[in-house]
């Protein structure tokens, strides 16, 4: 094999190309999502492919910092490629919007670029589609975005379950713990390592440790969470704000249960947010057969303020490429059969094709 | 909205090698009957709980990370080297061992911090992270096996390896200089798989949990 040929065969990690039927289906799915989002009153936005790295440095978590692609422009400034649309969008919205424009509802669907290990090729995190509701705080805004995510997953025919938690519970419960230990607690909760959690809380009251371990491991419905909350009220060291947020989470879940399909969501207190900018409700959606969440979202009330416009916001993003293979069941997104135009000359073939196309068919010359 | 149906069996990856017999006998004790027929790499238990895959120890995290197996049983050494993040649902008392720094028996105790440590090991990620976290520069030489040969043949003065009894070290005139960490065997889960099957998995965790003091 020639070295030139070998060069062509190499594919960089963190990006992809797709063709023909796959690309057709991809575009059809996006079109269906665009239509759905617009019917909910969301307007399209496009974000730049790269931006200055320093602007976002403080907003990137450790994993994001490792995976983001950086490059240097001709003036020597360090740039980063778009690895998370919400971040880039927040900056654009922070620049473009004024207080009187709010609330604003936007949607997007675009490529993201971030490093992916060779061992992680099935992650398929190359394309995000999602919405952001900017300038609305409160329960109804939280519900609007979560219901829209469930409707989106439903429209795509995905057998998904959304797990709903809250960053507030974690932040308030561990407010007095130093940052390094808090980071380790966050990691222990994420991997459900109860032993490590208990060790990190060494020095706390035993009952409080037991409550914390059970609380941050809780998955279930509103009634179960309420029972846990009642136990929490008996422990004076549990911050009042935690109890209030548990009540709120439980109320949100009850409304979701009334307005969405049975079994389509669960309360999951171990969901404490995948991005450092989340400040409130957080959620992730899972689909059988997928190795990680296919969609994630949450409230980020401080992010736009970082870019100059103080506005409470909430949104979600769906990793579209992860789910596209599931979306073919009803054939809606398959390439329709094309009819061959008849005739012996180009003019005759074109006329024949035009007749077929006028009737709504597809014709090739 | 379509909600997910629980699949018939939970998928679990089990490691080939010496840990397997200990695992299967623990399963047997807990009334989970799982046996791999001659040369077969896939088995199902009689109760319909598991579909088990027999995989190479080092490949196990890859199968679980990709969700091919939703669960897995594996040592912390292998998990750490994989770099992937999994849910840690249960630790077992069997299969425990130690990750140690070893060198020639005549070698003096390392004065910390040395200028530069040269270490031969299979566990490159762990070795690098461990010594860097202590502020010690380390040069790591990757070996796949028979690591004890490295100090004898002069490839590197030290090795980082798993030590159970220390017999192999002694037979090769080496000694443990320092125990770096304890290695435990864990039941791990792919996070997405757990979230979708958490009730069934929690039941299994309780069933497989060792009674306190049983094997400690």
Q: Coil, helix or strand for B183? A: strand
H or E stretch including B94?
Answer: strand B87-104
Contacts of A293 in chain B (CB under 8 A): 191-192
Closest CB from A159, A163, A260 relative to B4: A159
H or E stretch including A80?
Answer: strand A78-81
pLDDT at A260 over 50: yes
pLDDT at B7 over 70: no
What was the pLDDT predicted at B1?
46
pLDDT-derived band at A6, boundaries 50, 70, 90:
confident
CA distance A204 to chain B (A): 23
Contacts of A268 in chain B (CB under 8 A): 195
Is the CB of A352 inside 8 Å of chain B's CB atoms?
no
The more confidently predicted of residues A119 and A25 is A25
Question: Would strands B71-75 and B174-189 be described as parallel, antiparallel, or unpaired?
Answer: antiparallel
What was the pLDDT predicted at A19?
81
pLDDT-derived band at B211, boundaries 50, 70, 90:
confident
Q: Which of A325, A328, A324, A297 is CA-nearest to residue A313?
A: A297
What was the pLDDT predicted at A65?
87
What was the pLDDT predicted at A1?
60
How much is the average pLDDT of B14-20?
92
Q: What burial class does residue B155 get, using C-beta atoms within 10 Å of its C-beta: 0-12 exposed, 13-18 middle, 19+ buried?
A: middle
Q: How far apart are CA A322 and CA B194, in angstroms?
A: 18
The number of C-beta contacts closer than 8 angstroms across A and B is 76
Handedness of CA A127, A54, B129, A11 (dihedral sign): positive
Is the CB of A120 inside 8 Å of chain B's CB atoms?
yes
CA angle centred on A73, ends A54 and A3, rounded to 5°: 120
How much is the average pLDDT of B73-77?
96
Is the CB of A260 inside 8 Å of chain B's CB atoms?
yes
- The answer to whether the beta carbons of residues A314 and A300 sit under 8 Å apart is yes
**CATH code of domain B97-182:** 3.40.190.10
Contacts of A257 in chain B (CB under 8 A): none
Interchain proximity B1–A117, CB inside 8 Å = no
Q: Pull the structure tokens for residue A186.
A: 């966050």
Interchain proximity B4–A291, CB inside 8 Å = no
Backbone phi, then psi, for B206, in 5-degree steps? -65, -35
Q: What dihedral angle (degrees, nearest 10) is formed by the CA atoms of A227, A232, A233, A234?
A: 110
pLDDT at B110 over 90: no
How much is the average pLDDT of B67-74?
96
pLDDT-derived band at A54, boundaries 50, 70, 90:
very high
pLDDT at B214 over 80: no
Q: CA-nearest residue of chain B to A155? A: B1
How much is the average pLDDT of A242-254?
97
CA distance A124 to chain B (A): 11
Q: CA-nearest residue of chain A to B62? A: A119
Q: Over pLDDT 90: what percentage of chain B?
A: 75
Among A155-169, A275-289, B27-41, B130-144, which stretch is predicted with the lowest mean pLDDT? B27-41
Is the CB of A264 inside 8 Å of chain B's CB atoms?
yes
Is the CB of A149 inside 8 Å of chain B's CB atoms?
no
CA distance B170 to chain A (A): 34
pLDDT-derived band at B215, boundaries 50, 70, 90:
very low
What was the pLDDT predicted at A41?
98
Interchain proximity B196–A161, CB inside 8 Å = yes
Interchain proximity A191–B86, CB inside 8 Å = yes
What was the pLDDT predicted at A330?
56
Q: CA-nearest residue of chain A to B88? A: A193
The more confidently predicted of residues B18 and A233 is A233
CA distance A163 to chain B (A): 8
Which of B7, B92, B193, B195 to substitute to test the interface with A, most A CBs within 10 Å?
A: B195
Q: Which of A361, A208, A282, A286 is CA-nearest to residue B6?
A: A286
Contacts of A117 in chain B (CB under 8 A): 83
Any bridge partners for residue A133, and if so which?
A: A105, A314
Interchain proximity B4–A288, CB inside 8 Å = yes
The domain defined by A18-160+287-334 folds into BirA Bifunctional Protein; domain 2 (3.30.930)
Contacts of B198 in chain A (CB under 8 A): 219
CA distance B29 to chain A (A): 24
How much is the average pLDDT of A342-358?
96
Domain ranges, ordered by start, for chain A: 18-160+287-334, 337-365
Q: Pull the structure tokens for residue A118.
A: 């060779």
Q: Using one digit for the tens of pLDDT, what is the confidence trace for A168-215?
A: 999 999 999 999 999 999 999 999 999 999 999 999 999 999 999 999
Interchain proximity B67–A195, CB inside 8 Å = no
- Beta carbons within 8 Å of A159's beta carbon, 6+ residues apart: A287, A288, B2, B3, B4, B5
Contacts of A260 in chain B (CB under 8 A): 1
What was the pLDDT predicted at A21?
83
CA distance B49 to chain A (A): 17
The answer for B 25-64 residues in CB contact with A (under 8 A) is 62
Q: Over pLDDT 70: what percentage of chain B?
A: 90
Closest CB from B88, B192, B193 relative to A192: B88
Most distant pair of Cα atoms in chain A: their distance: 89
Among A25-29, A240-244, A265-269, A328-332, which stretch is predicted with the lowest mean pLDDT? A328-332
Handedness of CA B27, B29, B32, B38 (dihedral sign): positive
How much is the average pLDDT of B57-66?
94
Q: What burial class does residue A23 get, using C-beta atoms within 10 Å of its C-beta: 0-12 exposed, 13-18 middle, 19+ buried?
A: exposed
How much is the average pLDDT of B204-213?
84
Interchain proximity B67–A193, CB inside 8 Å = no
CATH-assigned architecture of domain B10-95+184-208? 3-Layer(aba) Sandwich (3.40)
B10-95+184-208 and B97-182: identical CATH topology:
yes
Is the CB of A290 inside 8 Å of chain B's CB atoms?
yes
pTM of the model as a whole = 0.90
Q: What dihedral angle (degrees, nearest 10) is formed by the CA atoms of A122, A124, A125, A131?
A: -130
Q: How far apart are CA A147 and CA A281, in angstroms?
A: 13
Interchain proximity B67–A289, CB inside 8 Å = yes
Q: Pull the structure tokens for residue A356.
A: 């077929």
- In the block, residue with structure tokens 């993201």: A112
Q: CA-nearest residue of chain A to B192? A: A292
Is the CB of B91 inside 8 Å of chain A's CB atoms?
yes
Contacts of A291 in chain B (CB under 8 A): 65-67, 190, 192-193
H or E stretch including A347?
Answer: helix A346-358
CA distance A292 to chain B (A): 5
What was the pLDDT predicted at A209?
97
């Amino acid at each position: 094999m020639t070295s030139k040929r070998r060069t062509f065969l190499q594919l960089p990690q963190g990006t992809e190309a797709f063709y023909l039927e796959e690309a057709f289906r991809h575009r059809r799915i996006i079109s269906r999502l665009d239509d759905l989002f617009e019917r909910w009153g969301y307007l399209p936005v496009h974000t730049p492919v790269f931006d200055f790295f320093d602007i976002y440095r403080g907003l990137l978590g450790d994993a994001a910092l490792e995976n983001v692609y950086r490059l240097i422009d001709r003036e020597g400034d360090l740039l980063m490629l778009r690895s998370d649309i919400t971040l880039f969008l927040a900056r654009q919205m922070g620049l473009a919007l004024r207080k009187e424009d709010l609330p604003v509802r936007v949607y997007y669907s675009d490529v993201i670029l971030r490093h992916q290990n060779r061992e992680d090729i099935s992650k398929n995190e190359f394309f995000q589609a999602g919405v952001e509701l900017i300038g609305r705080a409160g329960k109804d805004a939280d519900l609007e975005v979560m219901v829209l995510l469930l409707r989106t997953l439903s429209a795509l025919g995905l057998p998904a379950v959304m797990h709903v938690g809250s960053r507030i519970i974690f932040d308030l419960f561990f407010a007095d713990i130093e940052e390094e230990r808090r980071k380790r607690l966050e990691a222990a909760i994420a991997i459900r390592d109860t032993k490590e959690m208990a060790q990190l809380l060494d020095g706390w009251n035993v009952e409080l440790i037991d409550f914390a371990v059970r609380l941050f491991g809780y998955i279930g419905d509103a009634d179960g969470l309420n029972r846990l909350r009642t136990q929490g009220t008996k422990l004076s060291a549990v911050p009042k704000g935690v109890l209030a947020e548990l009540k709120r989470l439980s109320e949100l879940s009850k409304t979701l249960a009334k307005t969405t399909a049975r079994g389509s969501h669960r309360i999951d207190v171990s969901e404490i947010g995948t991005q450092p900018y989340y400040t409130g409700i957080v959620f992730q959606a899972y689909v059988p057969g997928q190795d990680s969440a296919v969609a994630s979202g949450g409230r980020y009330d401080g992010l736009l303020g970082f870019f100059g416009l103080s506005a409470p916001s909430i949104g979600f993003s769906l990793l579209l490429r992860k789910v596209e293979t599931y979306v073919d069941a009803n054939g809606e997104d398959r390439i329709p059969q094309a009819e061959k135009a008849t005739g012996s000359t180009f003019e005759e073939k074109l006329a024949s094709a035009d007749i077929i196309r006028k009737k709504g068919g597809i014709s090739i010359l | 909205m379509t909600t997910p149906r629980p699949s018939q069996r939970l998928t679990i990856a089990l490691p080939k090698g010496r840990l397997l017999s200990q695992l299967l006998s623990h399963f047997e004790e807990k009334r989970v009957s799982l046996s791999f027929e001659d040369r077969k790499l896939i088995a199902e238990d009689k109760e319909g709980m598991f579909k088990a895959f027999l995989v190479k120890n080092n490949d196990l995290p890859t199968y679980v990370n990709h969700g091919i197996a939703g669960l897995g049983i594996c040592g912390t050494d292998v998990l750490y080297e994989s770099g992937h993040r999994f849910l840690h649902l249960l630790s077992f008392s069997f299969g425990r061992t130690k990750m140690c720094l070893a060198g020639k028996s005549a070698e003096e105790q390392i004065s910390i911090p040395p200028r530069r440590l040269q270490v031969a090991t299979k566990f490159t990620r762990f070795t690098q992270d461990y010594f860097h976290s202590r502020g010690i520069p380390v040069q790591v030489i990757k070996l796949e096996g028979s690591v004890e040969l490295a100090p004898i043949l002069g490839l590197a003065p030290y090795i980082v390896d798993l030590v159970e009894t220390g017999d192999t070290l002694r037979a090769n005139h080496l000694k443990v200089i320092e125990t770096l960490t304890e290695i435990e065997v864990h039941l791990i889960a792919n996070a997405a798989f757990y979230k979708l099957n958490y009730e069934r998995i929690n039941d299994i965790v309780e069933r497989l949990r060792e009674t306190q003091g049983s094997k400690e």
